[in-house]
Amino acid sequence: MKNIALLFVAVTFLLIAEGCRRSEKLDDNKPTIALVLKTLNNPYFIDMQNGAEAAAKRFNVNIIVQAADREVDVEKQMQIIENLIQMRVNVICVAPSGSQEIVPAILKANEADIPIIAIDTRVDKNVLLESGGEVLSFIGSDNKDGGKLAGQFIVNELGKSGNVAILEGIPGHETGDARLAGFYEVANKSENIKVVVSQTANWERDQGYNVMQNILQAHPEIEAVFACNDMMALGAVEAISAANRTGEIIVVGFDAISDCRAAIKAEEMHASIAQHPEAMGRLAVEYALKVINGESIPDEIPVGIELITKENL
């Protein structure tokens, strides 16, 4: 029995610790804020973590940062939230890997009286309402507006006519859907802009490469690519380079991570939409602390976006 108990403690510790990166050792005399991200294999979310950790240090609070290995792993993210509930953290800030799928974990946090703040990606309002769940606030950018910026850039660069490919995020994911909606809203106004193909690459660089490679073989007429995040855009850039077509195809990403800024500078990419994830992480801690102190916070806390090109790098 003693060995079984020790094993249980060890497994529990590993589950709680998994995904943590550079988080401070917890002080029982300080409030604890948890930041649950989609992954820490993406520089975008590493920037978000950095912003949160810097704010936690400034405000002298505990910060726990955890994430699954892959953005598509919603079940792992839910397990992380459940473990944090067992730890009795004060507030959980989460960037949902699945806008609908994450709701059961949110309900468990609600039952435990642990406030939830959504960051970067909204929780599906209809599913949340039907289930009786509550999210105090959303901190993030207007992804639809970002999609519009990307669409308008491509329309302008193509001269209002041309063939476009789209690399989508996770199907049914609020963030990707909003970016697509914004892009199509602009593209559909130009009669001669044709979206030839739109396929998911699940937010990942290697899938972006594979999907783009297949697209180039099936549709050599492609003149522009809109990737719903930068990791997929970088995969597309690699596929375009492998096909010896660098410079021939306009590539626009979303997030403006450092590797994409370098690709824009090298003229391998043309543009990306900057969301300022570090500010999201900082604001998550600031508003979580307000909640801990009994203050009310707004339902929406917007973070600005901007189009990044070689001209404004």
CATH 3.40.50.2300 placement within the chain: 2-139+277-303, 143-274
Residue 279: which pLDDT band, with cuts at 50, 70 and 90? very high
- Structure tokens of 47? 């920037």
Q: Residues of the chain with pLDDT > 70: what percent? A: 92
Please give the span between the terminal C-alpha atoms of the chain, in angstroms, as a whole number: 61
> What pLDDT sits at residue 174?
86
Strand partners, 35: 65, 93
> What pLDDT sits at residue 173?
84
> What pLDDT sits at residue 172?
81
Domain 2-139+277-303 coded CATH 3.40.640.10: no
What's the rounded Cα separation, in Å, for the pair 150 and 253? 8
**Mean pLDDT, residues 13-34 taken together:** 65
Give the count of beta carbons closer than 10 Å to the beta carbon of residue 66.
27
Residue 40: which pLDDT band, with cuts at 50, 70 and 90? very high
Q: What rounded mean pLDDT belongs to the chain?
A: 92
What's the rounded Cα separation, in Å, for the pair 96 and 124? 10
**Mean pLDDT, residues 7-30 taken together:** 53
pLDDT tens-digit map of 147-180: 999 999 999 999 978 999 999 998 888 899 999 9
- What kind of architecture, by CATH, is found in domain 143-274? 3-Layer(aba) Sandwich (3.40)
What's the rounded Cα separation, in Å, for the pair 94 and 289? 15
> What pLDDT sits at residue 155?
96
Lowest mean pLDDT among 13-22, 96-105, 154-163, 226-235: 13-22
Strand partners, 34: 64, 92
Q: Which residues contact 188 (CB under 8 A, 6 or more apart)?
A: none
How far are the Cα atoms of 101, 213, 249, 290 from residue 218, in angstroms, in the given order?
A: 34, 9, 15, 53
What's the rounded Cα separation, in Å, for the pair 69 and 98? 15
What's the rounded Cα separation, in Å, for the pair 237 and 43? 17
Q: What is the pTM of this model?
A: 0.86
pLDDT tens-digit map of 225-261: 999 999 999 999 999 999 999 999 999 999 999 999 9
- Structure tokens of 8? 């249980």
Cβ(280)–Cβ(139) under 8 Å? yes
**Tally: H helices and E strands in the chain:** 11, 12
Strand partners, 72: none
What's the rounded Cα separation, in Å, for the pair 147 and 182? 4
pLDDT tens-digit map of 199-226: 999 999 999 999 999 999 999 999 999 9
Closest CA to 260 of 88, 108, 43: 43
| CA 224, chain centre distance (Å) | 23
Length of the chain: 313
- Please say if the pLDDT value at position 28 is more than 90: no
| CA 18, chain centre distance (Å) | 19
